[in-house]
Chain A
Amino acid sequence: MKHLLSLLIFVPVAAAFIGLLIPSTQKNTFRYITLSVSLIQFVLLVFVIADYQAAGTEFRLVEQTPWITLDLGAWGTLQSHYFVGLDGLSLPLVALSVFIMLIATLSSWNIDDKVKGYFTLLLILNGAIIGSFCSLDFLLFYVFFEFMLLPMYFLIGIWGGPKREYASIKFFLYTLLGSIFILMVMIGLYISVQDPSSSDQLIHTFSIMHMKKGHFIDGSILHPLATPSLGPFSFRGWAFLLVFFGFAIKLPVVPLHTWLPDAHVQAPTPISIILAALLLKVGAYGLARIVWPIFPDQVIYFHWMISFIAILSIIYGALNAMASKDLKILIAYSSVSHMGFVLLGLVSGTTEGISGAVYQMFSHGIISALLFALAGVLYDRTHDRLIINYSGLSSKMPVYFSFILIGFFASLGLPGFSGFIAEVMVFLGAFKSAGSNHLIPAWMAILSVSGLILGAAYYLWTIQRMFFGKFADKTNSALPDLDRRELLILIPLAIAAFVFGLFPQSLIDVINPFAKQLTDLFASLTNPY
């Protein structure tokens, strides 16, 4: 099959349009359409993985056709391609997206309000997320990136909790700010980068490939050797800062994280799952796909700041999680802490660290989905998530407690779960960086380990307060144990966390070439030779 990736991206979008033709009273039809789209994508994913293994180049399953070509006369040509492809960074994330979307669809089954709109938006979101993970053209990426924002805004703003308007507007404004930063840099790169394939004509291109390979136009503002500067930094420095913070908002990093707890708490369960499992990864993906390869010199220049932000996120997020009174806020802050590990791994500039960061993206996608699904289970029963309102729940809901144990311990990095492999690789990378290329100061590498202790502290304390002791439930709700649908959601997630914790080799094999390439790029810049 030639257009696998396009199919993967546009099947949900097409389904969304078909869905528009169906009257909104047919609630179940929309559910089944969305479910079947997810299943189709799952089948497609199997083909994608098979094709990926068969091919041998850096980017595989590439599709490239001209999209926008504009003759600007004396200014050259504007060129943007419909350019998609997969490598070691994007394949795990595309697989994760398909998997999580399936889980989110199942988890959306009990949404009963404005079903048509909900599932249409979900399908559009699905296409946009996968599209942004596949695209290799900056403009195309940006279009998909922005397209995620809109469905998310409505999904939180319409189907959310009591303070949903506030949360959705906060989410929207924060992310929009980041998008504007990215837009500015995108235009800067567009001005500075050319497609060298035609020598007689200047072709300005949006292709990330050309940006990565350094096809800069002589004398352009973002040329690595360009001298003009603005204040303390060069133009490249400013561009790096803008695009870094643009994606870092999405990651999120402290202190740009406060949209996350609000959005999570107000969003309905499936949207929380998507938000934590996939949308945060888009930020990390942007850093690894765009910022790191295009601005490696600036990453090295700003290494102290980036490491510091990573450490700050790890510790600050964990501390906030410890003080949180609401189960969902706790999990949201733990996401901040865990995404700090991603940033730490990326900035280490070592193969272990970068592989670990990508592994952590994947693993956090699974584990955070599991955690939010678990929080949703309790919320469905009691409409209350305050930790102090419960105690001794393990006696009433033993199966639920088992999954809580799996989820919490997976998240705090117990061996046997995917989070452990990821975190250990990040740590090893961080220490190696402290010892070799000095991108992460040693004290920060040491301090990052305290994230492990704090992570254990807030999770165990929560288990102790909510699940141990005499049974008490201040909301006085019926507390049936997990039903079949919930098991159908939780079991695959738990199994995935296990499998990738015990048998990491297949995933590491996929990630490693990407990590190695990025490491070589950094090594070529850090080694004085």
Chain B
Amino acid sequence: MTADDTFWVTRLALAAWMLPVVSCVALLFIPSGLKKRVPLVSSSLLFLAFISSAFVFVSVWNNPSVVITWNWFTFNGMENNGQLRIDNLSALMLVVVNFISLLVHLFSSAYLHNDAGLKRYYAILGFFTFAMLGIVLSDNLFVTFFFWELVGFSSYLLIGHWREKPEAGAAATKAFLFNRIGDAGFLIGIGLLWAQFNSLHFETIAKATAATDPALLTWISLLLFCGVMGKSAQFPLSTWLPDAMEGPTPVSALIHAATMVAAGVFLMARIYFLFTPTALVVVSTIGSITALWGAFGALKALDIKKILAYSTVSQLGFMILGMGSGSFSGSILHLFTHAFFKACLFLSAGTIIHYLHGVQHKTHTHFDVQDIRNMGGLRQHLPYTFFAFLIAGASLSGVPLLSGFVSKEAILTQLYYTTQNGNTLGWLFLCIAFIVSFLTVYYTFRMTYFIFFGHCRIADVIQEAKAERLPLILTLPVSILAACSVWLIVSWNPSDFSGWIYNGLGNPVPHHLIITVISSIWVVLAFIFAYFNLRNKPRWSPIRFFPDLDVFYTVTLLKPLLQLSRYTLSFDKKWIDGSIHFAAYAQVTIAKAVMLFDRVLIDGAVNGIARLAGGIGSITRSLANGKIQSYILWATASLVIFILWILLS
């Protein structure tokens, strides 16, 4: 790449990054009279951003990476901490994020066209895209953490977009808090890294890791992994994601399926060099638990968005499981394909919800538009959506010729190679991966079956509503995303995952035919099982028991914490203030006692003497009563006494 190219790549990457935030700021200052223009302004800016990122992608792919550095702020040796890196990984993510964000912008213009908070919605959407791209481009843990939190913030605002819904507020709070718990670990990891290496620059740290104690490295990597667990909804921080479905559906597609939750997986790829083998075992374990938990959750859930959310959790777990295999390429490939087919599924679900809302609105009936028990046979009413949903769902299940099959195969192959290296735990993880892919087929089939096949349970209502065709702006993004779910986007050969993307990501493993064959057969078997299982005895939820982690957290963490906080507050009032009041009262009491002593004893003694003198005085004074005769009497009497005394002595 020439210097001139670098110049343009830098500028275009910054444009691709900044245009969404330009959209955000512009919308904040747009007069409310132009409210109808909001989606147009925002989407066109996003389109420009997408075009720039496409250019960046084309020029950077498989070329030396471009580094952008600026001096953001300096303290004690932390120089130039504004560091961005555009390499294969970030260029790929740049395109994906801008692309899906653009489609979601378009989709939202129809989905939310009557919403009162449209302006705010688009502004935050733009802000989210900006923050997400910040994580993607960052070459420095400080910058990553900066945008990491901002992404969580925009997710908070978007989940809580419908503020009147109390559940939305609760879900938003929960999402942010779970992310914060993960981020606390992340921050501790950053702190340890800083203490150890005095730098947060990926490259500087990578150079220094060789000479570092592996035990410390394990701790640091696991602490950083806490952040991944929060953002990518890994067990045990996984329960916020299903709740986050309270937000608008396009938001779920963008943030809680395609991009933000994938940020954790992306970050792991960026800091992969820190992970020691021990740490990777933990990572795989967490990933496999999450994948299983999510899959079972998807079997239990009845809300269409919740099913997709659990499925997302499961797929994220699958990616993290794949991370444990010693190479991040497979997981990133799966992240890439998952972004498209899951966004497609969510937007299709959004279309269905939008359609049923319209029906509800026209007929003034009330039913839960997201509950799959109220659906069925919708393929006649929503043919395009059905088709898109089918493709994306098949891709999710890993049906050959679709992108999901290819990327899943990459992860399975990687896991297979770990077992060949003498890692006995690897077999366990490989088994879990197969179980998860079986369950994925099962719940996808169940979902599709209940929504689009069978008889329509609200057919009469739909008949009555005479709903018109869906607008193009709703179907177009869905169709594009469905088209992106075929194998061609990943590699030319539908059975070989090591195509152009996989090989561009670093430490790839070669394709292995046995895994391809086994996983194809496995998917077919799963479909057959699901078909007969659900056809013969249709049950809404195939499983009865599903561990409700929220209840567990409420009982073990939240309640004790609140109790503790109430206790500390009463400790403040009772003991700290109490001892101060006690000291004050003690002082006042002592003062009063001293006063009493003063009045009773000292004053009492003085007054007593005075009163004694007065008493004697008044007795003697009564003799001098002013009567001459009594004086004479007393004088005589005393004379007599005197004489008698003389005579008698």
Contact = CB atoms under 8 A, between A and B. Distances in A.
Answer whether A and B touch in the complex at a CB cut-off of 8 Å. yes
B35 interface: no
A460 B173 contact: yes
A320 B568 contact: yes
A435 B213 CA distance: 14
A469 B150 contact: no
A462 to B, nearest CB: 10
A297 B76 CA distance: 23
Interface in A446-502: 446, 449-450, 452-453, 456-457, 460-461, 463-464, 467-471
Contacts of B180: 452-453, 456-457
Nearest to B76: A351
Contacts of A471: 164
B176 interface: yes
B194 A431 contact: yes
B163 A431 contact: no
Given A435-B196, A460-B173, A504 B168 contact: no
A258 B188 CA distance: 31
B374 to A, nearest CB: 25
B74 A323 contact: no
A198 interface: no
A45 B358 CA distance: 61
Interface stretch (A8-16, A117-125, A269-277, A421-429): A421-429
Contacts of A508: 73-75
A505 B72 CA distance: 7
A468 B76 contact: no
Interface stretch (B40-48, B141-149, B482-490): B141-149
B160 interface: yes
Interface in B42-77: 71-76
A427 B191 contact: yes
B390 interface: no
B164 A170 contact: no
A24 interface: no
A453 B181 contact: yes
Interface in B179-194: 180-181, 183-185, 187-188, 190-192, 194
A449 B145 CA distance: 14
Nearest to A391: B166
B149 to A, nearest CB: 5
B170 A464 contact: yes
A355 interface: yes
B75 A446 contact: no
A352 interface: yes
Contacts of B71: 505
Contacts of B73: 421, 503-505, 508
Contact of A512 (B75, B145, B165, B572): B75
A95 interface: no
Interface residues of B, number: 53
B318 interface: no
B160 A505 contact: no
Nearest to A401: B163
A interface, by DSSP: helix, strand, loop or mixed? helix
Interface-central residue, A415, A421, A427, by most chain B CB under 10 Å: A415
Contacts of B169: 463-464, 467-469
B166 A470 contact: yes
A469 B165 contact: yes
B348 to A, nearest CB: 29
A427 B75 CA distance: 14
A434 B150 CA distance: 28
B644 to A, nearest CB: 76
Contact of A432 (B150, B160, B195, B569): B195
A255 B575 CA distance: 10
A324 B569 contact: yes
Interface string A64-99: 000000000000000000000000000000000000
A352 B194 CA distance: 11
B411 to A, nearest CB: 32
B580 interface: yes
Given A258-B580, A392-B163, A430-B191, A415 B146 contact: yes
B131 to A, nearest CB: 9
B194 A428 contact: yes
A414 B150 contact: yes
Interface stretch (B5-13, B260-268, B558-566): B558-566
A323 B562 contact: yes
Given A323-B565, A323-B569, A395-B164, A414 B149 contact: yes
B211 to A, nearest CB: 16
A319 interface: yes
Contacts of A424: 142, 145, 187
A255 B568 contact: no
A260 to B, nearest CB: 10
Contacts of B185: 449
Contact of B153 (A414, A445, A457, A504): A414
B164 A392 contact: yes
B110 to A, nearest CB: 25
B206 interface: no
A460 B195 contact: no
B173 A449 contact: no
B134 to A, nearest CB: 10
Nearest to A511: B75
A249 to B, nearest CB: 12
Contact of B163 (A355, A394, A435, A453): A394
A316 B568 contact: yes
A170 B71 CA distance: 48
Interface string B126-150: 0000000000000000100111011
Contact of A467 (B78, B156, B163): B163
B272 to A, nearest CB: 23
Contact of A352 (B75, B183, B196): B75
A414 B151 CA distance: 10
B271 interface: no
Nearest to B116: A395
Nearest to B181: A453
B509 interface: no
B550 interface: no
A320 B577 CA distance: 14
Contacts of A421: 73
A390 interface: no
A320 B194 contact: no
A173 B580 CA distance: 10
In this complex, the member of B74, B166, B195 whose beta carbon has the largest number of chain A beta carbons within 10 angstroms is B195
Contacts of A405: 157
18 contacts: A173-B584, A261-B572, A319-B564, A320-B569, A323-B562, A351-B75, A355-B75, A394-B163, A415-B145, A445-B191, A449-B187, A463-B173, A468-B160, A468-B166, A468-B169, A470-B166, A505-B71, A512-B75
Interface of B: 71-76, 78, 142, 145-147, 149-150, 153, 156-157, 160, 163-166, 168-170, 172-173, 176-177, 180-181, 183-185, 187-188, 190-192, 194-196, 561-562, 564-566, 568-569, 572, 576-577, 580, 584
Given A395-B163, A420-B146, A463-B169, 15 more contacts: A320-B568, A351-B76, A405-B157, A414-B153, A421-B73, A428-B194, A431-B188, A445-B191, A449-B188, A453-B184, A468-B160, A468-B170, A505-B71, A508-B73, A512-B75
Interface of A: 170, 173, 255, 257-258, 261, 316, 319-320, 322-324, 350-352, 355, 392, 394-395, 405, 409, 414-416, 420-421, 424-425, 427-428, 430-432, 434-436, 445-446, 449-450, 452-453, 456-457, 460-461, 463-464, 467-471, 503-505, 508, 512, 516
The 5 closest A-B CB pairs, nearest first, are A468-B169, A431-B191, A435-B195, A469-B166, A323-B565
